[in-house]
Amino acid sequence: MKKGAIQQQIYICIMLLLLLFTCTYTNVYAQESQLSEAPIFIDGEAVNTRFIMREGHLLVPAIFLKHTGTLVDWNEEYRSVVFQSKERMFALPVEKDFTDDFDRVTGTWKRGSLSTETIEFNGEPFIPLIDVVKKLGMNVKYDPKVKRTFITTNIHIQPNELNKVDTSSMLVALTFDDGPENHYTPMILDILKEKGVPATFFVVGREITTYPEIMKRIVNEGHGIGNHTWHHPDLRKKWSSRIQEEIQSTQQELQKVVGKKPDLFRPPYGAMTKADKVILNKMGMRNILWSVDTLDWSGLPADDILEIVNRDISPGGIILQHNFQYGRLLDGSVEALPRIIDDLQKKGYKFVTLQTLLAKQTVEEHS
Ligand code: NI
């Protein structure tokens, strides 16, 4: 063969290799960005999850199991996911097809088997769903007709969620989330002071460290307080130990700055899993949502906010507003506040802190 022909063949080989590399890379990339989602039914409730099908096994992100009321944590030392329910504890090391099961009677670990390996995908552990759910002692079935998976957890979690207080009294609570901060909060406090109306502030731990003086002012002026985590994360996406840290660190900061710890909690975005509720219950915290969503965080003008409040208010109602919103303006909310107070007072409503409103419910329950 001539020298030129050999060179040409080498070029072709290099081009083919490049093409192969590009195809493989694009394929992996496409797979990552197009990870499928499907609902899985847990105690009759549909919960969406990303999933991977591998050799006939359904793999889901380990953290998804929090929706079944199981505590899920990551152990960096052993590179394993640790599942913990009332009766059971076991770990799934990534890229292995076995489990380490803790025997509570003997206090020792035993090796168990999995039908397929756990995998790490984009730095996130995915576990075989059916295996884990069965190990947790839950019932699981796949209905081929509707192509859906149904899980029955057999776990009862004490409900402790409140959207409003059941009362016939004309009482309502104003609540402000995500502060303290130093721009809108003083304006809101001034308006409340002038009107002689108390509110409740769900505060974020890291903001308290930045604005301790504003935090003190909130409490000194007679307003109620609630815990709204330390970093304001989406709790559904965090390991169970992190949930506890988020709440506890904020409690400690409040104790340090204002000398008291609330037993009220509001999850960021109003979102949490059954496992997060287990932690809240254990900590003796009450989970407070809302019955009137002003949508003020989106920058709505005052008129729109007022319309929502007048439309959705009812006795025992809890109104959601914000005194801080990263990168957004709350001028509409501040402008609406005195008008909300005037409008509702004209209708016969009285403003109280959440603590007072909740006490009202207890009194009525016992009478
Ligand atoms: Ni929030």
The residue with tokens 């576990």 is 127
The confidence score (pLDDT) of residue 27 equals 44
Instruction: List, run by run, the mean pLDDT of 10-residue segments along the chain (367 residues).
Output: 64 62 46 76 96 93 98 97 95 97 94 96 96 96 91 90 94 98 97 98 98 98 98 98 98 98 97 96 96 95 97 98 90 97 98 95 59
Q: 18 alpha carbon to ligand 1 midpoint, in Å? A: 49
98, 119, 152: which is the final residue of a domain?
152
Q: Which residues contact 112 (CB under 8 A, 6 or more apart)?
A: 90, 98, 99, 100, 101, 135
| 255 domain-assigned | yes
- Based on the domain organization, do 72 and 138 belong to the same domain? yes
Q: What are the backbone dihedrals phi and psi of residue 336, each rounded to the nearest 5 degrees, phi first?
A: -75, -30
Position 303: which residue type? D
| 225 domain-assigned | yes
- Based on the domain organization, do 129 and 170 belong to the same domain? no
| 76 domain-assigned | yes
The residue with tokens 């959207």 is 163
CATH of the domain at 81: 3.30.457.10
CATH of the domain at 209: 3.20.20.370
| 141 domain-assigned | yes
- Based on the domain organization, do 226 and 360 belong to the same domain? yes
- Based on the domain organization, do 230 and 306 belong to the same domain? yes
- Output DSSP code: residue 259: S
The residue with tokens 């990168």 is 327
Distance of CA 230 to the CA centre of its chain: 13
The rounded distance, in Å, linking the Cα atoms of 286 and 294 is: 22
* 208: three-class secondary structure by DSSP: helix
The domain tally of the chain equals 2
The confidence score (pLDDT) of residue 74 equals 98
| 174 domain-assigned | yes
- Based on the domain organization, do 307 and 191 belong to the same domain? yes
pTM attached to this predicted model: 0.87
Q: 269 alpha carbon to ligand 1 midpoint, in Å? A: 6
Assign residue 55 a region (left: φ > 0; alpha: ψ between -120 and 50; beta: otherwise): left
The catalytic residue positions are 177, 322
- Based on the domain organization, do 72 and 118 belong to the same domain? yes
Q: 49 alpha carbon to ligand 1 midpoint, in Å? A: 23
Q: 146 alpha carbon to ligand 1 midpoint, in Å? A: 37
Q: Which of 270, 326, 262, 327 is nearest to 293 (CA)?
A: 270
Q: 327 alpha carbon to ligand 1 midpoint, in Å? A: 13
Q: 260 alpha carbon to ligand 1 midpoint, in Å? A: 21
DSSP string, 50-92: E-EEETTEEEEEGGGGGGGT-EEEEETTTTEEEEE-SS-EEEE
Asked if 313 and 172 count as a contact pair (C-beta separation under 8 A), the reply is yes
The confidence score (pLDDT) of residue 314 equals 97
152, 180, 204: which is the final residue of a domain?
152
Pairing of strands 124-128, 139-143: unpaired
Across the strands, what pairs with 127? 60
Residue 112 structural domain: 37-152
112, 128, 152: which is the final residue of a domain?
152
- Based on the domain organization, do 132 and 105 belong to the same domain? yes
- Output DSSP code: residue 321: E
Q: 178 alpha carbon to ligand 1 midpoint, in Å? A: 5
Between CA 134 and CA 142, with CA 137 as vertex, the angle to 5 degrees is 40
